[in-house]
Structures are given as C-alpha cells and as structure tokens.
C-alpha cells in the first residue's frame, strides 16, 4: 500500500508550529507519510517538504494584504500548481484564512475538472464569529472537516453550517506546557520582572516596541524583551536604539513567562500563552488606520485578546491604536504590581480559561480525526 500524501498550508509562525505538531502525531499513529506544502522552519524540522516559506511574508490587516497582493498571488499560483501536480490525499489548511479560504475554493474548482477529489481539512477555525460571518457558507461547501481549538466554536457552527463536520480537539497549549506549577499570585519579585512581547512580525515590532519601552521606563520593574528570531532583534535595535543594552532574548518564551511577574504583549496567540502561565498582562495593538477603520466597521466582538473573548469579559486590559499609550500601559502594569487582590482574582479567572481548552492530547485527537477522514476516502 502506498504512503499517504498530505499537503499542509501554514502562513504564520503559530500555524507552522501547529502543523509540525500535527504531522508528528500523524506519523506516530500511522507511520511514514509524504508531506509537503507551505510553512516555515518548524515544518521543515518535521520533515515536511516546504515549497514556500510563507511565515517569512506574514502580514496582518486588510491594507497590508492589499499592498502585498502581487507577491501573494505568485505564491498562490505556485502552490495551486503544486497541488494539482502532486494530487495529495488530503490538504490541511492551518489558520491564515485570507489565503487559505481562497486556496481551497481554487482547489475545488480545479479538481472538479479531473478525477482527483482531495479531502480538505481546516485546522483552527477562521474567526468568523468575530467578523465576516458570511464566509461560513463557503467553508460548509468546500471543507470536509473543521478542527476547532476553542470550545464554543462547535456550537457556533452547528447553528450556521449544520452540514459542516466540526470536531473540538482542544488547544495545543495543553500539550506544550502540561502539569505546570504556578507561583503564588500574592508573591512578586523585587523589583518585579516585566516581560515585553511586541509581536512576531516586523510591522508589529515596528509599531509596538517603542511605546512598550516607554511604558517600561515608567514602571519600577526589570524589563525583558523576547523576540522569535535574530532578524527581529536587529530590527528592534534599529527602531529603538536604547534597548541595545537591555536583556533581549531570541526564543525561550516558556521560560520567560514562567519567570515573569507581568507582561505587556501584542494581541495575538501569545496572549493565550500569557494566560496559560497565569501572567498578568496588558494587551495592545496598533495597525494601519485603514485596517483599524475597517475593523471598527465589521468586528462583531467586544474584545481583541483571546483570553478576554473566552472569559466573556476583560480579564487582560486592552489598548488599541492611540489608546495604546505609554501612560495607559504603565498605569495598568503598576496596578498589577501593587494590587495583590487583583492578581489573586485574575489567577482564578485564568485558571478557568485554561481548564476550558480541552486538556492534553490535542494533536493526537486532531491526528485521529484526519486519519479517519483520509482512510474513509481511500476505502471509497
């Protein structure tokens, strides 16, 4: 029997890691398989033949995507042709809906003119519950299985797309950092340790780091900056030269979170990691004014940080655009430092959020769901 052939499509660093974890779980369950597609360094380490490293070109925002349209169109066509050439048994799209939803639509259109009928799996639901809900009908039409990492999404889809199979597999954080020992929220270092997380993309670092540094200088705390790669460290020092003698680390986020008393973080996946480690966090986000204006028009949620969305209230204070000032960020950081009762309440809230994420075994559950679908299609 020939080995299964799987195409993976990841466009950001978080999706790259998720794809790596999934492919390793799939191999552990069924043995070797041929994997190829778009991703980054983590997928390469897992033995995936990465044709294009999309993680190096990740952008956030409508205006930013429009400005890079020509480049992404070239990538899109290369990957579409690659899929048609290799005709995998399944295509697994991880997040990145602006690119991936168009890709699966193109795959359905192209493959309909051939005998090839791939199974299409979407891992991490596009945040349709936040905006652009109308895309749910395309997903119901084009996707064979949606793997959800948040507990509320299965019910959300069942009401709007009853024909779409959705499985809540749990959040990968439960596997990455199991059996954690958390510090007593009543205790705090002297001076407190302040973690700065400006983002994983060049634009985010450019927009966020300066105001974060200004805020850190207003707080009586020892700052630490963590960035995902050396390229962003070089850019950070170019944008804010005064941090050249600060403590800046490449990677090692779990260790940094475990040793920090509080954080100031860019909105994104990292805010859920802050929640998992029970680190009081002030969240900010700055984007282009065009993207911000469109977001104000179309967003249907009251919060941008995932811990706040899961809690249904603001457990982490959020500041967006001009409200993300050094004064506001520093004031909230000071409140976390000096208010032990608030830290105690927050610790309890973050524990409830963590408990809702499904427990250990997320990658394994996702793997089993994918293999069930692939094996059924092969038998047919």
Confidence band for 53, pLDDT divided at 50, 70 and 90: confident
Indicate if the pLDDT at residue 70 is higher than 90: no
Strand arrangement of the beta sheet that strand 262-266 belongs to: 247-250, 222-227, 193-197, 262-266, 281-285, 318-320
- Residue 27's CB: how many other CB atoms inside 10 A? 15
Where b means 16+ CB within 10 Å and e means fewer, 105-130 reads ebbbeebeeeeeebbbbbbbbbbbbe
pLDDT value of residue 268:
85
**d(C-alpha 140, C-alpha 196), whole Å:** 40
Instruction: Tell me the pLDDT tens digit for each residue of 321-363.
Output: 999 999 999 999 999 999 999 999 999 999 999 999 998 999 9
Residue 242 CB neighbour total at 10 angstroms: 10
Q: Which CATH class is domain 5-170+361-379?
A: alpha beta
Task: Please state which of the ranges 71-75, 283-287, 292-296 shows the lowest mean pLDDT.
Answer: 292-296
pLDDT value of position 299? 61
Q: Are residues 34 and 45 in contact, defined by beta-carbon separation less than 8 angstroms?
A: no
Cis peptide before 26 (omega within 30 of 0): no
- Asked if the model's pLDDT at residue 379 lies above 50, the reply is no
Task: Give the DSSP H/E element, type plus range, for residue 33.
Answer: none
* Confidence band, pLDDT 50/70/90 cuts, at residue 13: confident
Tell me the C-alpha distance between 352 and 207, whole Å.
32
* Burial state string for 315-345 with b = 16 or more CB within 10 A and e = fewer than 16: bbbbbbbeebebebbbebbbebbeeeeebee
Provide the terminal-to-terminal Cα distance of the chain, rounded to the nearest Å. Answer: 15
Give the model confidence (pLDDT) of 121-139 as tens digits.
999 988 887 666 788 999 9
Which secondary-structure segment (H or E) carries 374? helix 362-379
| Residue carrying structure tokens 């799996």 | 121
Which residue bears the tokens 């966020």? 208
Segment among 25-34, 69-78, 187-196 with least mean pLDDT: 69-78
Q: What per-residue confidence (pLDDT) applies to 66? A: 63
Does the pLDDT at position 201 exceed 60? yes
Q: Which distant-in-sequence residues (6+ apart) come within 8 Å of 378 by Cβ?
A: 4, 89
pLDDT at 67 over 80: no
Give Cα separations from 249 to 196, 236, 257, 316, 332 (angstroms): 11, 12, 12, 24, 24
User: What is the full DSSP assignment across 133-175?
Assistant: GGGHHHHHHH-SEEEESSTTHHHHHHHH-TTS-EEE---THHH
Q: Is the per-residue pLDDT at 46 higher than 60?
A: yes
Numbered ranges of CATH 3.40.50.2000 in the chain: 5-170+361-379, 193-355
Average pLDDT over residues 257-281: 95
Res. 55: pLDDT tops 70: yes
Q: Which of 139, 164, 116, 131 is closest to 298 using CA atoms?
A: 131
pLDDT at 58: 58
pLDDT at 170 over 50: yes
Residue 245 DSSP one-character state: G
Cα angle for residues 29, 175, 166 (degrees, 5° grid) = 70
Which residues, 6 or more positions from 154, have their beta carbon under 8 angstroms from its beta carbon?
148, 166, 167, 168
Q: Which residues are 248's β-sheet partners?
A: 225
- Token output for 103: 């890709």
Helix (H, G, I), strand (E, B) or coil at 329: helix
Residue 73 above 70 pLDDT?
yes
Tell me which fold the domain 193-355 belongs to: Rossmann fold (3.40.50)
328 versus 59: the higher-pLDDT residue is 328
């Amino acid at each position: 029997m020939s080995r299964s052939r799987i195409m993976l499509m990841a466009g950001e660093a978080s999706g790259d890691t998720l794809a790596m974890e999934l492919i390793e779980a799939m191999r552990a369950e069924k043995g070797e398989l041929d994997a190829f597609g778009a991703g980054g360094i983590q997928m390469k380490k897992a033995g995936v033949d990465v044709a294009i490293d999309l993680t190096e070109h990740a952008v956030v925002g409508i205006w930013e995507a429009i400005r890079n349209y020509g480049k992404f169109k070239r990538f899109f066509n290369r990957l579409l042709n690659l899929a048609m050439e290799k005709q995998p048994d399944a295509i697994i799209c991880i997040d990145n809906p602006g690119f991936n939803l168009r890709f699966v639509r193109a795959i359905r259109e192209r493959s309909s003119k051939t005998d090839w009928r791939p199974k299409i799996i979407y891992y991490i639901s596009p945040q349709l519950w936040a905006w652009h809900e109308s895309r749910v009908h395309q997903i119901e039409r084009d996707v064979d299985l949606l793997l959800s990492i948040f507990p509320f999404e299965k019910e959300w889809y069942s009401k709007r797309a009853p024909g779409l199979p959705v499985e809540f597999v749990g959040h990968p954080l439960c596997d990455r950092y199991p059996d954690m020992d958390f510090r007593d929220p009543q205790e705090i270092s002297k001076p407190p340790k302040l973690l700065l997380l400006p983002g994983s993309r060049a634009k985010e670092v450019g927009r966020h780091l300066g105001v974060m540094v200004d805020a850190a200088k207003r707080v009586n705390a020892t700052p630490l900056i963590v960035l995902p790669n050396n390229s962003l460290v070089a850019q950070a020092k170019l944008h804010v030269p005064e941090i050249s003698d600060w403590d800046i680390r490449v990677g090692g986020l779990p260790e940094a979170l475990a040793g920090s008393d509080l954080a100031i973080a860019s909105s994104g996946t990292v805010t859920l990691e802050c929640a998992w480690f029970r680190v009081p966090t002030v969240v900010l986000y700055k984007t282009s004014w065009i993207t911000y204006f469109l977001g104000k028009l179309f967003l249907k949620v009251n919060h941008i940080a995932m811990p706040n969305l899961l809690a249904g209230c603001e457990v982490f204070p959020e500041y967006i655009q001009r409200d993300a000032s050094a004064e506001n960020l520093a004031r909230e950081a000071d409140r976390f430092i000096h208010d032990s009762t608030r830290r105690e309440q927050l610790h309890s809230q973050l524990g409830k959020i963590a408990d809702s994420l499904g427990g250990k075994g997320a990658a394994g559950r996702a793997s089993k769901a994918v293999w069930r679908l692939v094996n059924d299609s092969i038998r047919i």
